[in-house]
A and B are shown apart, each in its own frame.
Chain A
Amino acid sequence: MSEKATYRPEGIHDAFTEGRTDEAPTAGGPAKPAGPNLPSLGWRGMLRWTWRQLTSMRVALMLLMLLAVAAVPGSVLPQRSQDAAAVLEYLGDNPTLGEWLDRLGFFDVYSSVWFSAIYILLFVSLVGCIVPRTLAHGRALRNRPPKTPVRFGRFPATAQGATAASPDEVTDAVAAHLRGPLRRLPTFRVDTGAEEPRLGRPATRTVAAERGYLRETGNLLFHLALLGLLVSVALGQLLHYRGQAIVTEGRGFANAVVDYDTFDRGAWFRPASLSPFSMTLDSFDSEFASDTVAFAQARDFTAHVTVSEPDGGTHSEQIKVNHPLTVDGAKIYLQGNGFAPEITVQDGAGETAFAGRVPFLPEDTMYTSRGVVKVPDVSAGQEQIGMIGYFLPTAVVEADGSARSVFPQPQNPLLVLEVYRGDLGLDEGVPQNVYRLDTASLTPSVDDDGQTIKLLVKPGETVELPDGLGTVTLGEQVPRYVALDLRHDPSLAWVLTFSLLALGGLAVSLFTPRRRVWVRSWETTDDGGRPVTHVELAGLARGDDAGLQREVDKALASVPGVADDAADGTNDDKPDDDRLAGDHQRTATED
């Protein structure tokens, strides 16, 4: 499309915004008059119409609003990807509503059909809009500034002046000023010209200048970067893996799928991408505030580990919150910590039925931690044993027998256990949560008053289980455990790159002024018969541009020996002259 159709410099309308709205025709753009004139063409026409609608700004706007609204339910309702247990709880509390919400994807909002549909449509619309615009911009980059309009009167910024310098000198000076000091990277793209006498005006010299091509470049970069971001996030989803492991002090784990407690992977993940290193947790340190204001608030967690590389080398490392450890491209995060008391159970027959470390999950700031011991492997004829317990790092036992923890460090550890017996249901092959004991089909141990018996066990102690079930022993040392999260996502660098490109593009497109300036100068004579050059300037900007008038004024000020018609000459003359001297010199050396 010709330059003339894209730019209408004569008008005061914002010619720049055309091509951005859906109503104005653009050079090769997808925009078309949106309106009630539905196509009477066949299916091809219909397709074309649909495509044009989809790529119009109006529809993009609707999709953006829809996207904002569609994102909200995911913050209100529990989401499976974050807290599957909360979703189950919600489904239990609201069976009917919950089932419907579940069917409609409200517990997996961000992977639901409707959420995906909105953003995919948005990106299709984006592509449809960006590709033609990129092509048009590619052409526009070689365009010359639009030619000087005949009349300057209706432009948003104008200025006039008179000078003793000739029109040629004026033209050169203003052109040099507008181009700026960098020859290779001119501020304005400038064309100078001449006009024959017309409309009662003598022959004139003109300058047509335009700046801010980068604005559109930045805008396109921003949108393309968003596209790149989407693609890299999607690739990351396909290629990543994430494993979680609980490791207790002195023990280790190997980077292999089977060694993780949970393991997530993308569809394109290959187990071969797991580097076969292994790691041992040497020790774990924690620090808590002991001042009254923030009593017991966590201050520092450090896991000291030894990493064994596949090539046999070993090295000691630290993992802290905010400071994951990177091994062979995979990052290992410290996500949680707690106590894993060593518990030994002997059944009624005196056989050791269970011996091991049991991770207890902290439930409050004082590390009151909850855990479950399941003892299925009892001697023949014995009932299986299940225990639910609390581990209290610094226990205080009240007069009524209740116990609580008053500090997160193990200053006075105590294990409180409730005992159940019966069939634990482990033999049915249904996977069970190791942190949950289903007590529905079990018999609790109660005392004579029918109260549930609570056993209190200190480190190193052995306590008799009720109902002749045997004994339980708590190890002398209480080992700590860390919950580690290991993650590998090859797309991270791309995600970051595209985010930063989007940010940069955005800033350039929002803060680069897009302006045009025209200058016309011609010679007449003043009252005394001396030759005078009249200078007229006009400026136009895309959108609201508070700096436009200043730009025009500065261009006028660059005219050698100018007297500004609008201002009262005496005040302005001097500083202008000073400035001009500088400009002149620059012009001279440059040309």
Chain B
Amino acid sequence: MQIAELSVLLVWGAATALTIALVAFAIDLGRRTEARADAHAEARTPAAVGAASGPTSTIPSTQDAAPAPARRRAAGIAMSTTWLGTALLLVAIVLRGVAAGRTPWANMYEFTLVGSFMALAVFLGMNLRKDFKFLGAFVTGLTVLFLVLGLNVFYVAATGVQPALQNYWLVIHVGVAISATGIFTVAFVASVLQLLRDSRDTGSPYLLRPGFRWLDRVPTPTSLEALSFRLNAVGFVLWTFTIIGGAIWAEHAWGRYWGWDPKEVWSFVIWVVYAAYLHARTTRGWDGRRAAWFVIVGYLCVLFNFTGVNLIFNGKHSYSGLNTDTTGGA
């Protein structure tokens, strides 16, 4: 078997492992809900809803109740299959690099693989320090979606790259962009949960239905906000570096550091949206829920920058590998 084919097979393997993890995480979240639902119903305080300005919040561990054995089994399966899926993905990425004879992140397919890997790695890394398993179902769910999309829509055969991409900046600029994307992904999950939990706490009739009981098991909106912020802060710094690195590279490759190419425009838009988010957090009346909406808009821009800008617009940044355009490289 060819190395490239083996890599594809491993990506499918990773997607399968992560699907199992997804189910296990969901079961875990459901079980915890049952165990805690009654206790929680009494103790439910609408504490500091949405008002994330207080310094009081630290990220609480969700392991405050004595774990029931069944629950632990589901959580254990979930975590070990996530580790397995992530490891398989890593091997797949390395093999892809070997097959192509270069850094394995030069087109959309590879970007999808490495971006998913980064999101998983961030999630696993966070769990080494504290229990963040409540994020698991969503992180694995998103990465399975990305991987399957990547395999079916973005896939291109492994091969070398055109002269414009033969540069160490491919490693730095794109590598950092991918890390930022992975971190933004996890932060996005936290912000979505924050909004859902907040709506349930404030009595949204839709979210009060029993199907959403699991929301009581995720941390308070305030601590989810804090978690999202910490991740977004790291993501934002990396994004800033992505743009600076891209500009340095553009200066070498295209003869100008900034030219409002569609990819540059959208990278700029993302940067400004996350900058606005950081400013919103420190503006009274714009923190809490509204700040979370910035994260969601920002992340949608990240997704659009990756998909829409690569596939719809025809800029210099046409490196998806899906179009056959010569003009990008010289």
Contact = CB atoms under 8 A, between A and B. Distances in A.
Interface of A: 12-14, 16-17, 20-23, 57-58, 60-61, 64-65, 67-68, 71-72, 74-76, 79, 81-82, 109-110, 156, 233, 242, 289, 291, 293-294, 297-301, 320-324, 331, 333-337, 362, 364-365, 367, 485, 487, 492, 495-496, 499-500, 502-503, 506-507, 510-511, 540-546, 548-549
Contacts of A58: 283, 285-286
25 contacts: A17-B282, A58-B283, A65-B273, A65-B276, A68-B276, A79-B260, A82-B259, A82-B261, A110-B260, A156-B55, A156-B58, A298-B329, A299-B162, A301-B330, A322-B163, A322-B167, A322-B253, A323-B252, A364-B326, A499-B247, A507-B237, A542-B55, A544-B57, A545-B55, A546-B58
B156 to A, nearest CB: 9
A536 to B, nearest CB: 19
A297 B162 contact: yes
B52 interface: yes
B58 A548 contact: yes
A67 B272 contact: yes
B253 A541 contact: no
Contacts of A362: 326
- By CB atoms of chain A within 10 A, which of B58, B160, B259, B266 has the most? B58
B230 A299 contact: no
A71 B269 contact: yes
A57 B275 CA distance: 12
A404 to B, nearest CB: 15
Given A61-B279, A74-B260, A510-B233, A289 B160 contact: yes
Given A156-B56, A546-B59, A510 B273 contact: no
Nearest to B309: A75
- By CB atoms of chain B within 10 A, which of A293, A298, A322 has the most? A322
B166 A503 contact: no
Contacts of B157: 293-294
B296 to A, nearest CB: 14
Contact of B256 (A337, A364, A487): A487
Contacts of A499: 244, 247
A145 to B, nearest CB: 17
A300 B279 contact: no
Nearest to B240: A503
Contacts of B240: 502-503, 506
A22 B259 contact: no
A117 to B, nearest CB: 16
A14 B330 contact: no
A510 B240 CA distance: 13
Nearest to A56: B283
Given A82-B259, A293-B158, A540 B280 contact: no
A74 B163 contact: no
Contacts of B257: 492, 495
A317 to B, nearest CB: 16
A12 B163 contact: no
A242 to B, nearest CB: 8
Contact of B55 (A14, A76, A293, A298): A14
Contacts of B280: 61
A364 B326 CA distance: 6
Given A81-B259, A334-B330, A540-B55, 11 more contacts: A67-B272, A68-B272, A81-B260, A156-B56, A297-B162, A321-B166, A364-B326, A485-B255, A503-B241, A506-B236, A545-B55
B255 A298 contact: no
- By CB atoms of chain B within 10 A, which of A58, A75, A362, A506 has the most? A75
Nearest first, the 3 closest Cβ-Cβ pairs linking A and B are A544-B226, A294-B159, A321-B163
B271 to A, nearest CB: 9
- By CB atoms of chain B within 10 A, which of A13, A57, A320 has the most? A57
Given A506-B237, A541-B55, A549-B58, A21 B269 contact: no
Contacts of B309: 75
Contacts of B54: 12-14, 156
Interface of B: 52-59, 157-160, 162-164, 166-167, 225-226, 229-230, 233-234, 236-237, 240-241, 244, 247-248, 251-262, 265-266, 268-269, 272-273, 275-276, 279-286, 309, 313, 324, 326-327, 329-330
A543 B226 CA distance: 9
Contacts of A502: 240
Contacts of A503: 237, 240-241, 244
A12 B56 contact: yes
A68 B330 contact: no
Contacts of A13: 54
Nearest to A72: B269
A71 B265 contact: yes
Given A289-B160, A300-B163, A544-B229, A324 B283 contact: no
Contact of A546 (B230, B241, B283): B230
B284 A21 contact: yes
A489 to B, nearest CB: 9
B250 to A, nearest CB: 10
Contacts of B268: 71
A549 B234 CA distance: 22
Nearest to A86: B314
A293 B159 contact: yes
Contacts of B247: 499
B87 to A, nearest CB: 28
Contact of B160 (A14, A297, A324, A548): A297
A494 to B, nearest CB: 12
A76 B164 CA distance: 24
- By CB atoms of chain A within 10 A, which of B157, B225, B309 has the most? B157
A364 B328 CA distance: 11
B160 A336 contact: no
A311 B164 CA distance: 34
B17 to A, nearest CB: 29
A184 to B, nearest CB: 28
B260 A301 contact: no
A365 B272 contact: no
A492 B255 CA distance: 12
B157 to A, nearest CB: 5
A511 B237 CA distance: 10
B265 A297 contact: no
A544 B219 CA distance: 15
Nearest to A76: B313
A21 B283 CA distance: 5
Contacts of B234: 510
Contact of A57 (B252, B261, B272, B279): B279
